[in-house]
Amino acid sequence: MAITTTILVTRLSALGDVAMTVPVMKQVLDENPEVRIIFVTNKNWGALCAGIPRLVFFPADVKGEHKGVPGLYRLFRSISRQYRIDAVADLHNVLRSKIVRTFFRLAGKPVAAIDKGRAGKKALTRKEDKVLQPQTSTIERYAMVFRQLGLRCTMGTQPVFAPRPLPERVLAVTGAKNTQPWVGLAPFATYREKMYPLAKLEMALAALIKDGTYRVLLFGGGKAEVAQLNELAARYPQAVSVAGRFTLEEELALISQLDVMISMDSANMHLASLYGVPVVSVWGATHPYAGFMGYGQSEQYAVQITDLTCRPCSVFGNKPCFRGDHACMEWIKPEQITEKVISIIR
């Protein structure tokens, strides 16, 4: 079927948030073969779009060329020169994306934007009189935007991508995968309130590799994280730090080969989810009820303290612990993590 409709999709944000858009856009394209999507996002995230027919990555540099209102206007003009946009799906609904969609609306294009459900999330995370109820997932909220534009989008749980072969540059570091299960360990997140104490996570790592049953690959990014993971790998030679060593495309191939990923409520949970890799996710200040569980992931693999009345205290983990003791993370035992990993692999 020939392409008759071109949809502009915007999500100018962090890697994990962008990764969650991919299953939805793939589903839209599968159910609407006449549609093409032009996906405007961070210039560094192009590898997420690879291998999906009719999904066109359009890089945005909001800290450089596309900074501020003049830059966003340049972005609008650049898109308009290259593509005839029929409608806009704003999956971000922040000031930048509102400005971009306004330019298209003034040009006569239909626009739909995500409803983030702020009232429900506020009730879920407030200090007093919490309403501890699951909110509509972010994945479903994305899907609703496309439905507003009259497109079919019925979400399932099937992996978006099949496992990818490992490039030679990766194999030179990891070696070939044999019968030994590979476990990814991604201990970091943007905020401390979303991170399990590294010393306790080290205990879980030691338990997993003590008899040589599992190969553990350490994931992270940024100079400080790379340094900490290299130190950890030096103490545990059966673990390999892959942090900062590969491109995003290479890292995705590596993630696709994992048997389990251990992750905080952060990007690596969402990257692993694209390949159907089970994730043992560790939750502290945030909660799966806020709608950010990885695509297709089971909540039974989530590790969290369920009897703390202060949880969750934040949607994104960006608020300091008002108790001051980070009990939501400190009370989690390392064996709670290792037991779930072992149960998944078995």
**pLDDT tens string 263-300:** 999 999 999 999 999 999 999 999 999 999 999 999 99
**Average confidence (pLDDT) over 97-106:** 98
DSSP E strand stretches across 71-201: 87-90, 111-113, 182-186
pLDDT of residue 334: 97
- CATH number listed for the domain at residues 168-345: 3.40.50.2000
Confidence of residue 1 (pLDDT cuts 50, 70, 90): low
User: pLDDT-based confidence at 305, cuts 50/70/90?
Assistant: very high
* Per-residue model confidence (pLDDT) at position 19: 98
pLDDT for the residue 3:
86
Q: What is the pLDDT of residue 49?
A: 95
Domain residue spans in the chain? 5-148, 168-345
E-assigned strands of the chain? 5-11, 35-42, 55-60, 87-90, 111-113, 182-186, 215-218, 239-241, 260-264, 279-282
270 sits in the region (left: phi over 0; alpha: psi -120 to 50; else beta) called alpha
- Measured CA to CA, the distance from residue 192 to residue 194 in angstroms comes to 5
pLDDT at 93 over 70: yes
The pLDDT score that the predictor gives to residue 212 is: 85
**CA 258/CA 159 separation, integer angstroms:** 14
CA-based end-to-end distance of the chain: 44
On the question of a common fold for 5-148 and 168-345, the answer reads yes
pLDDT band of residue 2 (cuts 50, 70, 90) is confident
Tell me how far apart the alpha carbons of residues 274 and 163 are, in angstroms, rounded to a whole number.
10
Give the pLDDT of residue 313.
96
pLDDT beyond 70 at 187: yes
Which CATH class name applies to 5-148? alpha beta
Say yes or no to pLDDT of 25 above 80: yes
pLDDT at residue 114 tops 90: yes
Comparing 5-9, 182-186, 188-192, which segment has the lowest mean pLDDT? Answer: 188-192
* Statement: residue 13 has pLDDT above 90: no
% of the chain beyond a pLDDT of 70? 100
**Mean pLDDT in residue range 155-183:** 95
* Token digits of residue 31: 């159910």
How does residue 325 score in pLDDT terms, banded at 50, 70 and 90? very high
Model confidence band, residue 5 (pLDDT cutoffs 50, 70, 90): very high
pLDDT at 144 over 80: yes
